[in-house]
Structure 1
C-alpha cells in the first residue's frame, strides 16, 4: 500500500492506534460515573500547555500533559471538597484554558494559527518524538485502566460503597482524572484537543447498545475506536481532510448503525424475558 511508504503516514497510523486504544479505555469509566464531558474541559486547559510548548521551544505534547494533569488534579480537588460544583470547575477549565493558550501565543510572539493542528488534529503534525511520547503515555493509561479495573469500577459505580470496603476513593478519583488528562494529550496530534472527548464517549456509547457488562463494553468500545481511528486516518491520506473530524464522524456513523441494530435485539430480549416470566408463572400455577 502506498500510504505505508510514507514515513509520516506510518507515524500517523501508529499514533491513531494508540488513540483508538487509550481513549475508550478511560472513557468507559468516565461514562460510568457520568463525567463524559471531562475530556472537553481537559482538552481546553491543555491548550495552555501546547502554547507554552511552542513559545518555550519544548515538546508541546509533554508540556500539554503537565498542564492538563495539573488542571485535572485541581478540578478533582475542588469537586471532592465541595467548594464549588463540578460544572463550574469544568467551565473554568473550558474557557480559561482556551483563552490562556491564545493569549500566551500572542504575548510570546507566536501565531495562534499554530494551535489549529492541536485543536482539530493533523496527520502531518505527528513527529517521531511525538510517537515516542504517545507510546509512553499510552502505556501509563493502559496500566491504570486495565491493571486497576476492579478498583476503578467500584469507585465509579458507588463511591460510598467503595469507601466502606476500604478503597482509597480520593486517590482513585485523582488517578482517573490524571489518566483522562494524559489520554487527552495522547489524542492531541490525531484527533485534536477539541474533539478528543468524542473518542472517549462515542465508542463507549455505541458498545453499550449491543453489550452487557463492563468487560464486554470496554472490549467492544476499544475495538470500535481502534477501527474508526485507523480507518479515518487512512482515509484522510487520500481525501485530504482533517483527521480528527473524519474519525469522529466515522465514530458517530458506527453509533447510529449500532443503535439501529440494537432496537430489534432489545425487542427479542424483551420477548424472551416475557416468555420466561410467563413460563415461571405457569409452572407456579401448576405446582399449586
Structure 2
C-alpha cells in the first residue's frame, strides 16, 4: 500500500476514483428511479465522438466529450418526452452512430494513428491516463454534479417519482428533466478516464441497485450507494495496480460482487422485518395468523352455529 501511494500517477488515479465513486451513484439513483438505467451506457457511446474530435483537433478530449455528451443528452430527453414510437430507433441510431463516428475520428487522429492504446484507455479506463489536467477537470465537473444533485434533491426526487404530480405542484418538470440528463452526461465524462466509456453506466446503476436491497428510504439508499461507489472505485483502482488489469473492469466486477453479497443478506433481513411487522396472534389464532377455529367448528356443528349467530 505504501509503495502504491508513493507514485504520483496512483495518487491522481485514486483521487479521480474517489470523485467518480461519489458522482456516479449520486446521479445514477435518479436514473434508476426513472427506469433509465441504461441512459449512461448510451451517452458513453456518444462520448466517443467527443473524444475523437478532441484528438483530431488537438484539444482536450474530456471537454470536447462534455460538449458532445450534453448535446446528446438533451436530444435524448427531448425524444423521450415526446413519447414517439420511433424514439427507440432514433436513440439507437444516435448511440451506435456516435460510437462509429468516434472510432473513425480516433483512427485518423495524429496522436492515435496506428495504435489502440488511446482508444482502449477511453473505452476501458487506465490508471496511467489520469494526468493533472484530467484530475482538475474531474474535480470541477464532479463538484458541479454533486452541488446540483444535492441542492435540487427534493425537486429531482419528486420529478422522478411522479412527473404529473410534480407538474401540478408547480415544479419545472421539463427543465429538471433536461438538467438531470445534462448531469448524467457530465458524469459519464467525469468517469471515463477511470472506469471507461463502456462500463461507466454500471457504476451509475449497480451500487444503487445493491443499496436498494438493504435500505427502505431514498436518503439511506443514496448514502449507502455513494459509500459503496467510493469503496469499489478505490478498491478497483488498487486491484488494477496490483494485478495489472484495466481499472474499469476491476471496479465493475467488485460492484457486482457487492450486489451478490447484499442479495444474500437481503433475504434474512426481509424475513426479520416481516416477523416484526406481523400482528400479534388473536385468541383462537396461531402466531402466523391462520385461524384455528374453523377446524374445531367442523367437529362441533352446534358450536359452529353458535359462532355464526
TM interval, short-chain normalised = over 0.9
Contact 1:79 1:89 in 2 (8 A): no
Which residue of 1 is the match for residue 152 of structure 2?
148
Mapped contact 1:159–1:169 kept (Cα < 8 A): yes
Deviations 1:27-79 (CA, angstroms, capped at 9, x unpaired): 00000000000000000000000111111111111111110000000111122
Kindly indicate whether the alpha-carbon contact (under 8 Å) linking 1:28 and 1:200 is maintained by their aligned counterparts in 2.
yes
Q: Are 2:123 and 1:119 aligned?
A: yes
Q: Which residue number corresponds to residue 267 of structure 1?
A: 271
Deviation at 1:81, TM superposition (A): 2.5
1:1-288 correspondence to structure 2 within 5 Å: 1-108=2-109, 110-111=112-113, 113=116, 114-275=118-279, 278=281
Q: Give, in whole Å, the separation in 1 of the partners of 2:98 and 2:72.
A: 9
| Aligned-pair CA distance for 1:125 | 0.3
* 1:180-237 deviations in Å (ceiling 9; x for gaps): 0000000000000000000000000000010011000000000001001001101111
Q: Distance in 2 between matches of 1:12 and 1:189?
A: 9
Larger Rg computed on CA atoms: 2
Could you give the per-residue CA deviations for residues 118-168 of structure 1, whole angstroms, max 9, x where no partner exists?
010001000100000000100110011100000000000000000000011
What's the CA shift for 1:83?
3.9
User: In structure 2, what is the Cα distance between the partners aligned to 1:154 and 1:81?
Assistant: 20
Structure number with greater CO (CA < 8 Å, separation at least 6) is 1
Deviation for aligned residue 1:281: 11
Check whether the contact 1:38–1:90 (CA below 8 A) recurs between aligned residues. Answer: no
Query: For residues 239-265 of structure 1, what are the alpha-carbon distances to aligned partners after superposition, in whole Å with 9 as ceiling and x for unaligned?
Result: 111100000000000000000000100
Contact 2:142 2:190 in 1 (8 A): yes
RMSD of aligned C-alpha atoms? Answer: 1.7
Counterparts of 1:66 and 1:161, CA distance in 2: 32
Q: Which runs of 5+ in 2 are unaligned?
A: 286-309
2:265 & 2:109 partners in 1: Cα distance? Answer: 52
Whether the 8 Å contact between 1:233 and 1:247 is mirrored in structure 2 is yes
Q: For residues 38 and 279 of structure 1, what CA distance do their matches in structure 2 show?
A: 51
- State how far apart, in whole Å, the 1-side matches of 2:90 and 2:123 are: 21
Given that residues 51 and 115 in structure 1 are in contact (C-alpha distance below 8 angstroms), is that contact kept between their aligned partners in structure 2? Answer: no
Tell me how far apart the structure 2 counterparts of residues 32 and 216 of structure 1 sit (CA, whole Å): 14
Q: CA deviation at 1:108?
A: 4.2
Following the alignment from structure 2 to structure 1, what is the Cα–Cα distance between the partners of residues 207 and 33?
A: 13
TM-score by length of 1: 0.93
| C-alpha contact 2:56 2:108 (8 A) present in aligned 1 | no
Alpha-carbon shift at residue 279 of structure 1 (Å): 6.4
Unaligned 5+ segments in structure 1 are 283-288
Task: Count the aligned residue pairs.
Answer: 281
Partners of 2:227 and 2:109 in 1: CA distance: 42
